[in-house]
Amino acid sequence: MAQTTAHRRLLGEYKALSTNPPEGITAGPVSEDDMFVWEALIQGPEGTPFEGGIFPAELKFPRDYPLAPPKMTFLGEIFHPNVYTNGVVCISILHPPGDDPNQYEHASERWSPIQSVEKILISVMSMLAEPNDESPANIEAAKMWRENRADYEQRVRDGVRRMLGL
């Protein structure tokens, strides 16, 4: 019974994601020896240049989860205004309410213990569809997205195919 709140909750979320997975999302711990490191696959939302792509990401949970949010990193190349070139995802739901490096986000959009892995991944999916122009993490991508949408979409599509080994 030496399970902590974090451990129990992650296990519960794992189960819920396995039995009732949301469309286009697969997520679970890399190994159950360490419930605090997960990997997730996100399908590119349809009707966007990311359509048809599969994007792997790693989620690292703090020991005091769910008080603090996990950290999410895309594991492959992904060209998106809100993803740093090293793969770190910059999205308001992953920022604790006290921490607002960009001053743009409303507190209501940020992390709260009631959020969950599923909600994070769904938010990231919608972020792929609609980049947040206000707080770019990848300046080049943001600039291209704003000024040269066709090139941006082509580059994203190429990345999607490379990712699938085609």
Partner 1 sequence: MADEQVSLTSLVLIVVLGGLVIRYLFFPSSAAGPEAYRGRDSAASSRAREAAVERIQQMFPQLDRRAILWELQRSGGNMAATTERILSGRMETPPVTFQPPPPPRSTTPSSTSQTAKAPLRPAEPDLITRYKLQDKINYDSGSSSSVAGQESAVPGTKTKAWSSNRDERQTAFQRRRDEMILAARRKMEAKIAAEKAAASGKE
Partner 2 sequence: MNNDGFDSVADSTDWLATPLSGLSAVEAALRCQICKDFYRTPMLTSCNHTFCSLCIRRALSADGKCPLCRAGEQEMKLRSNWSMEEVVAAFTQTRSAVLDFARKPPPALPTRTDTPKRKTDDLVMDDGDEQPSSSSQQRSSKRLRSSARLSKTRGIETTAEMARQEAHVPDPEPTPVEPDDGLVACPICWRRMKAVQVDRHIDTSCPGEPQPAPTPPAQLLRSSSSKPTSLTSVFAPSSTISSNNKPQPPPDRLPALNYSMLRETQLRKELVEQGLSTSGNRGMLERRHREWVMIWNANCDSQRPRRRAELLHDLDVWERTLGSRAPTGSRAANTGAQIRDKDFDGAAWAAKHDTSFKDLIANARRTRAQAQVTTPDEGDGKESSVNETINISDDETKTVKPTVEKVSDTLGLLDTERIVGVSVGDPPTIIQLEEGKESEPVPI
Q: What angle do CA 81, 144, 45 make, to 5 degrees?
A: 50
Is residue 32 involved in binding partner 1 (CB under 8 A)? yes
112, 15 in Cβ contact below 8 A? no
Q: Which is nearer to partner 2, 26 or 116 (CB)?
A: 116
Binding window for partner 2 (CB under 8 A); candidates: 31-39, 75-83, 132-140, 152-160:
31-39
Binding window for partner 1 (CB under 8 A); candidates: 2-10, 14-22, 114-122, 148-156:
14-22
**Which one of 72, 90, 91, 93 is the catalytic residue?**
90
Is residue 99 involved in binding partner 2 (CB under 8 A)? yes
How many helices and strands (H and E) does the chain possess? 4, 4
Is residue 68 involved in binding partner 2 (CB under 8 A)? yes
Inter-helix orientation angle 139-147/149-163, to 10°: 130
